[in-house]
Amino acid sequence: MRDDLQLLIISSPSGAGKTTLTRRLLSAFPDFIFSVSHTTRAPRKGETDGSDYHFVAREEFVRLRDEGAFLEWAEVHGNLYGTSLAELDRARSLGKRGILFDIDYQGARQIKAKLPSVTAVFILPPSLRELERRLRSRGSDDDETIARRLAKAKAEIEHYGFFDYVVVNDDLDRATADLHGIVRAERCRRTQRALEAEALLRE
Ligand code: ADP
Ligand code: 5GP
């Protein structure tokens, strides 16, 4: 069986618009699933266990990690986060064509090392000033959390050079079109079309 699951990583500093762009991508491409990560952080208001994250205690996370359950894992903002290998099986068993990972640059590096066909996209805010405005307008974090996220933003942006594509989320519709264009272009890669080409040659 051909395993042509399209693997897409989206990373960004907090507040750049990754959640907004990811939601739009999943509704435009229903043949993608969102990879549900495990995390030791507490659920935020409105988050659902099993669909936003699998929320687990630190001991449970460490047990799973030591059993080899994760494709990648990392510590982010003091909490542990990981992508379980079971998510790839879930995508395949649902007959999906792609899987989208919302993970940080540390996880992106680990997945790229194991699965080089992955496409890694980094979302940039148009400026740090606008990033701060968006973090405040979201209204989900207190001043201290916002200050911490802003301080971390530059450290995350420093890793942009590792990614295959960089999308600047200034105008939301344009950034959405860029991201969708990347997904479509990746689907037209020769390696993704080999079966179709070979079938024609056999006709
Ligand atoms: P992230 O998931 O990267 O932390 P969000 O998607 O939650 O970011 O976006 C942060 C805030 O910025 C949200 O209030 C969202 O509505 C807003 N936002 C996202 N993209 C844009 C954009 N292009 N222009 C203006 N506001 C945006
Ligand atoms: P949040 O707690 O705001 O949902 O996410 C914080 C950061 O952790 C984000 O940068 C997000 O992309 C990253 N993250 C979420 N899940 C994973 C994961 O499974 N692995 C890694 N490496 N990072 C993750």
Name 178's Cβ contacts closer than 8 Å, sequence gap at least 6.
167
In this structure, the residue with its CA closest to atom 12 of ligand 1 is 134
Distance of alpha carbon 188 from alpha carbon 67, whole angstroms: 37
- CA 27 / ligand 1 centre spacing (Å): 17
pLDDT in tens, 170-195: 999 999 999 999 999 999 998 888 88
pTM for the structure as a whole: 0.94
Distance of alpha carbon 188 from alpha carbon 196, whole angstroms: 11
What six digits make up the tokens of 190? 């020769």
In this structure, the residue with its CA closest to atom 23 of ligand 2 is 103
Ordered by start, the domain boundaries in the chain are 6-201
Instruction: Give the per-residue pLDDT at 191.
Output: 84
Q: Which residues pair with 122 in a beta bridge?
A: 11, 166
- CA 9 / ligand 1 centre spacing (Å): 18
Instruction: Give the per-residue pLDDT at 140.
Output: 76
Classify domain 6-201 at the CATH topology level: Rossmann fold (3.40.50)
- CA 104 / ligand 2 centre spacing (Å): 5
| Strand residues in 28-151 grouped as ranges (E) | 32-34, 37-39, 53-55, 70-76, 79-84, 98-102, 119-124
Cβ < 6 Å from ligand 2: which residues? 11, 14, 37, 41, 72, 74, 76, 81-83, 102-104, 106-107
- CA 59 / ligand 1 centre spacing (Å): 33
Instruction: Give the per-residue pLDDT at 192.
Output: 83
- CA 164 / ligand 2 centre spacing (Å): 19
Residue 13 CA: nearest ligand 2 atom is: 10
Low-confidence ranges of the chain (pLDDT < 50): 1-2
Instruction: Give the per-residue pLDDT at 123.
Output: 98
